Structure 1
Amino acid sequence: MNKYGTLHESNGRYALRFERFFPQKPEDVFLVITTPRYFSQWYPFATGEMDVRLGGKIDFDDGEGTTYKATITELEKPYLFGFREEGDLVNISLQERDKGSLMIFTHTFDDDSWAVNTAAGWHRCLDVLRQIVNGHPVEWKDYASELKEYYQEAFRAN
């Protein structure tokens, strides 16, 4: 399994897709993904305020005066969690795999000019999610520039 994300284009929209394997059951991974105190540790700008139900809201604050809400559009415990954040869609699906879980994380958006930075950011966020799921302390490692170089090259080949 490739630890890097991939970029796909369809009908003028773009999707970043990441796959991660966890040795835990989908129920355990889903709980970490949808519990506000964990979600706010790995998801950018999340405040920890979230109403985890179909149509529920998730509050975000960029720390620079901009606040916004996402709406939960998909919720099928323990396999599917999706929401619309402004015009973007985030979908997280979990599948039982090899006594654990395969997570597919997809972020769909319109403007590909931020794809490299967004991919590098999600890569780091998903690494932190892995730390939380595995019960490790959160450590934001500083390798963003290496990730940006990788994604710049990978997406140029698309």
Structure 2
Amino acid sequence: MNERLLTTPDGRSVLHMQRRLAHPPAKVWRALTEPEHLAQWFPTEVSIDGDQVRFGFGPGGTVIAHDPPRLLALTWGDDELRWEISPDTTGGTLLDFTHTFADRHGAASFASGWHTCFGALSRLLDGLRPHAPGDTAALHEHYVAILGLSGGTARGGTVRVERQLTRPAPVVWLALDGDRATVGAPPPAPFTAAGVEAGPVTRAEPGKLLEFDAGAGTVRWELTEGTGHGARLVITHRDDPATLPAWRAHAEDLATTVAGLTT
């Protein structure tokens, strides 16, 4: 495997993945472009009519490059997908794939999804039935680590930690003991971080949001729609930038915990 996450001058993210396939480029090209093969490894139904592309979910797209049997590039809504294939020295194929998108924090979801797809593509080329998709939570967390997605920021006195999780918001809320949150009372312990003074809860929306006073500042937890099957976690702590390491570590601990849960 060879994965990298780059940033374009205009701030978009580019996921680069490379695979070596033990089959000649002409065979790989057919698997990349012929509908009966695409249906066995691509994440959704896809049909190409001229330069127009239709997918089984989400917006449509356009073919922006088509150079058989070397290059296929198309858009999927605002995203761009690009496959480049070339022969390697063993008679097989080197596949270079890039996915360009705006949501950097969704990169691990994209990477784990494409990893699974390319595994299915490899089995298809080998003449085997692709495996049924399984739980990719551990794979997602692996990509969070290797793509460097576990950081946060401290700007203008406010800490912000954003993290894609692998389980839906109701499951995460229960893991946080969110159903015990009461306005005016201290927040449940899973909402607090080491060294952060926790005052009373000032706002609670079950499964979505919790705010509480923290010394001279305010902590806000949000669970919103994420990329893939899990919720997007955003923690902000106003007026105490020194708490960034604590909240970053806490978000990682939570991500590890929920990845081990079943839905």
**1:139 is paired with a residue of what secondary structure?**
coil
Q: Which amino acid aligns with 1:74?
A: A
- Asked if residue 14 in structure 1 is aligned to residue 13 in structure 2, the reply is yes
Instruction: List 4+ stretches of structure 1 deviating above 6 A.
Output: none
**2:111 is paired with a residue of what secondary structure?**
helix
Partner of 1:30: 29
* RMSD of Structure 2 on Structure 1 (CA): 1.8
Cα distance between partner residues in 1 of 2:133 and 2:60:
28
- Identity rate, percent: 25
Q: 1:117 Cα shift?
A: 0.9
Partner of 2:61: 70
Deviations 1:41-79 (A, max 9, x none): 2112224x222x5xx2221123xxx5x322111111101
Larger Rg: 2
Partner of 1:5: 3
**1:42 is paired with a residue of what secondary structure?**
coil
How many pairs are equivalent? 148
Q: 1:101 Cα shift?
A: 0.7
Cα distance between partner residues in 1 of 2:39 and 2:54:
10
- Asked if residue 61 in structure 1 is aligned to residue 61 in structure 2, the reply is no
Partner of 2:95: 103
Deviations 1:118-138 (A, max 9, x none): 111111111111111221111
Partner of 2:80: 89
Preserved CA contact (<8 Å) 1:79 1:95: yes
Q: 1:143 Cα shift?
A: 4.8
Partner of 1:44: 43
Q: Which has the higher contact order (CA 8 A, sep 6+)?
A: 1
Preserved CA contact (<8 Å) 1:83 1:90: yes
Preserved CA contact (<8 Å) 1:23 1:101: yes
Which runs of 5 or more residues in structure 1 are unaligned?
A: none
Call closer, same or farther: CA 1:78–1:31 in 2, change over 3 Å: same
Q: TM-score, normalised by structure 2?
A: 0.53
Deviates more, 1:95-104 or 1:131-140: 131-140
Which runs of 5 or more residues in structure 2 are unaligned?
A: 152-263
2:70 to 79, 88, 100: 79
